[in-house]
Every structure is written in structure tokens, then in C-alpha cells.
Structure 1
Amino acid sequence: METHRRRTGSSKMRVLATAALFSLTFVTLQAQDGPKADPPKADTPNPHHDTRPTQTFYLAHAAQANDGNEILTGVRIMVDPLDKLYLDPSLNAIIARASADDLELIARLIKELDRPRKAWRLTYTVIELDNGKRVGVQHTSLVVLEGGRTTVKNGSKIPLATGSSKGGDTQFTYIDVGLNIDASLDALGNGARLRSKIEQSSAVETKTIAEVTEPVIRQSVTEGSAVLVPGKAVTIGSMDIPGSTRHLDIEVLMDPVP
């Protein structure tokens, strides 16, 4: 009986050991045969990434800061609103991102708009008359580009007392006297439209105020516009000088710069 029990117990232990081994083998095989990780996917293109080509167009005749902006505005009006155009002032160039066909159109438009501008020489003549007799003539010449602006100052500085310190020293500032011209031109047919301001000033006498001698400044200003054609002088201003018999006529002559 005791021998039979030992055999029975030994058989049960062998059965349990075999079951445990089978369970361990099953778990191991299940772990090995379980779901595998997906292989890495290839990068897909970003649908929002702009793959259109980019091209840089260098401007040859945009001499002033506003010239490039005017060309850029003209091109944008004519092309697809989705085309991207930027002006780089440091390069004096327009950078465009668009389709190949639109880039060809942009190139043609820039070539048409980026043209050399005419340059004109303006000669201002200030004629001073006294009782109808010419007593003085002053000529001043300057060069202006179409669509551009030029200023000229020709004269001197004179002292003007502005006050005095506690120590009795007189304080002075200096003012400009002479001829100042501000001119701008816009193309108009075979000629140009001129807008100008001519300011002429001079010290004519002195007066003593509070024991300080002060200059008396005579000043005349002419401002307006005129249509000019090459080679023909046009009178753009005429005035009488108050308190005198003197008279001023201002003429301007426009000639092309070779």
C-alpha cells in the first residue's frame, strides 16, 4: 500500500511538471508568434509644401527705392494671385515662386517694366528787372529723371542773433540765403510735367534792435507746375518786389541728357 501511494504521488508530480513545461512552452511560442511591429513607413510629401520652382529677377534700372515697388505692383496685378512675389531691396531683385508658365510671364513683365528712364537737364533762369531794365541774371542747371526729384541749394549762411547770456554774450544761429530749387518730373507725351518750388532770399539791409544789428531778409517763393517740351523755355513765375521798382521773371528750359 505504501509503495502504491509513492508511485501514485510520483505520477502526479510528473503530470504537473509536464503540464507546467507545456504551459511555459506555449507562452514562449505565443510570445514569439505574437503580432509584429509594423515596418517604418516611407516619408510622404507634405500636401501643404509648395513645390513650385523659384526664380530671382535682378532689376537693372530701378535706381530709386520706390522703383522696385512700382514694378512689383505692376507684375502682381497681371499674374495669378496665388503666385508669391517678394522684393529684396538689398539685392535690387524680385524673387518669385510660381509655375513654370507663370515664371515666363513674370520675366516678360519685368523686362517691359524695368526700362531705363529718360534724364532731362533743367536750366532755371532768374531775371531781375529794374524799371524794365535787366539788372541781373542767374542760371542754375540740374538733372532730373522722369518720375524723380532733384533739389539744389546755392547760397550762403548769415548769422542771426537769437538771444544773450547772463555774461552779456550774444547767441547766434545761422540761416541759409540764396537760391533753393525743388523739381520733379513726370513723363507726358513727348515732353514732361514739371512741379517745382523756387525760393530766393537775400539780406538787403540791417537794422539795430535792442543794440543788436539784425539782417533784413528779402524772400520770394514761386511754386507750381508747367508742361515742358524739349528746347523751349517756359516762364513759370513772375513777381514784383514790394517797396521797390524791381521785378523778377523765372524761366525754365528742358533739354534731354545724352
Structure 2
Amino acid sequence: MKKLLQLLLVLVFASAMQAQDTPKPRTGLKFYRVNFSIFELEDGKKINERNYSLPVNSVDGNPRSGTIRVGTRVPITSGEGQVTYIDVGMNIDCDVTEQGEKFILSSSLDITSFALPDQNANPRAGGNPILRQVKQHFIALLPAGKPTLVTSIDDTNSKKRLQVEATVTRVE
């Protein structure tokens, strides 16, 4: 009987010790919201604005990328009877790291669009559409919660300019 009681006590203490060894939740998990405003300007006047918002996070200081893909898959004839699809639209990839009171935003922007008829004498040369593309990768130091111009790109075929503002806020 004594041996049985001792065995039960050992099992009770062992299970209590095991409960204390359960892993603790990660305290280094941080969440952010990144807002992008993309402005199209012509002769210095705003003619279009698009806004995108996405959540990103980091675990123990290691950023995890946030991604947005918006667009259309366009069929392109690549050979006799062969069709290839090209993505036309907007792709944004970004991650955030804290630097004191500010944020380091690392982002890639890829915008593909159809060339306008006035930008090409034959907009469907060879039966396929003519595409325009802007690609930009940037790393910027941003204040918390304040919209900041992170890139400005002149269109080489027109008097248009693309400007990108980003805002990073920490989500509690």
C-alpha cells in the first residue's frame, strides 16, 4: 500500500513538473499595417490615385513579407497554337522592421499595364498587346503613422509621373 501511495505521489509531481515545462507563447511577434497610396500625375496634376493596405508581421525581429497581387492574366500567342499568360496589374511585396521609434520598410513594386494608343502607332503589333512596366525596389526609414513619399518615377514615354507614399503603423 505504501509503495502504491509513493508511486501515485511520484506520478502527480511528474505531471505537475511537465505542465510547468509547456512552451510559452512568442513574445517577439509584432504586427504592422502598411498603407500604400500610388499617385499618377500628368504635368504636375494628380490624375489617378490607388490605395492598398496590407498586414505584415515579424517574429523575434525577423520580418515576414506581406504581398498584394491585383490584375488580370492576359493570353499572349507565343507560337503556333501556343498561348502564354502574362500578369497585367499591380504586385506589391513588403516587410517591416522596427528601428527605434521608426520603421524600416523594404518593398518591391511591379506595375504592368497596356500601352495607350497614343503611346504606340500600332497598339497590337503582331496580334499581341503592347505592355508597359515599372519595377522598383526600395528600402526606406519611415516615421510611425505618417504618410511618406518613398519613390517617384518619371514615365519615359509621356509627361506622367508615378509617386508612391507609404504609411506604417504598429497594430497592438
Shared fold per TM-score greater than 0.5: yes
Aligned to 2:48: 136
Distance 2:86 2:22 in 1: 47
How many angstroms apart in 1 are the aligned matches of 2:94 and 2:155?
24
Of Structure 1 and Structure 2, the greater strand share is in 2
Which has the larger Rg?
1
Partners of 1:195 and 1:227 lie apart in 2 by 9
Unaligned 5+ segments in structure 2 are 1-16, 117-122
Aligned-pair CA distance for 1:216: 0.9
Pairing partner for 1:208 from 117, 125, 131: 125
TM-aligned CA deviation for residue 188 of structure 1:
0.9
Instruction: Report how far residue 226 of structure 1 moved.
Output: 0.7
Aligned residue in 1 for 2:102: 191
Q: Does 1:117 align with 2:117?
A: no
In structure 2, the partner of 1:249 is 163
**Which letter does structure 1 place at the counterpart of 2:124?**
K
C-alpha distance in structure 2 between counterparts of 1:253 and 1:125, whole Å: 9
Q: Aligned equivalents of 2:21 and 2:129: distance in 1?
A: 59
Partner of 2:87: helix, strand, or coil?
strand
User: Which of the residues 52, 74, 81 maps onto 1:158?
Assistant: 74
Map residues 46-65 of structure 1 onto 2, 5 A cutoff.
Answer: 56-61=21-26
1:181 corresponds in structure 2 to 92
CA distance in 1, matches of 2:143, 2:54: 16
SS of the residue aligned with 1:176?
strand
Greater length-normalized contact order (CA 8 Å, ≥ 6 residues apart):
2
| CA displacement at 1:57 relative to structure 2 | 4.0
* 1:79-99 per-position Cα deviation (integer Å, ceiling 9, x unaligned): xxxxxxxxxxxxxxxxxxxxx
Equivalent residue letter for 2:48? G
The answer to whether the Cα contact below 8 Å between 1:240 and 1:246 also exists between their aligned partners in 2 is: yes
Q: Tell me what 1:23 maps to.
A: none
SS in 2 for 1:244: coil
1:136 maps to amino acid:
N
1:59 shift after superposition? 4.2
Greater helix proportion: 1
Give the equivalent residue in structure 2 for 1:226. Answer: 140
What residue number does 1:47 align with?
none
Letter in 2 for 1:150: G
* Count of aligned residue pairs for this structure pair: 145
Deviation at 1:117, TM superposition (A): 2.4
* C-alpha distance in 1 between matches for 2:24 and 2:134: 42
> CA separation in 2, counterparts of 1:180 and 1:153?
5
Shift of 1:116: 4.3
Partner deviation per Cα, 1:93-123 (whole Å, 9 max, x = no partner) = xxxxxxxxxxxxxxxxxxxxxx142211100
Superposed displacement of residue 176, structure 1: 0.7
Question: Aligned residue for 2:6?
Answer: none
* RMSD (Å), alpha carbons: 1.9
1:69 counterpart residue number: none
Distance between the aligned counterparts of 1:57 and 1:241, measured in 2? 57
Tell me the CA shift for residue 228 of structure 1: 1.6
Instruction: Please list every run of 5 or more consecutive structure 1 residues that lacks an aligned counterpart in the other structure.
Output: 1-52, 62-114, 165-169
Deviation at 1:257, TM superposition (A): 2.0
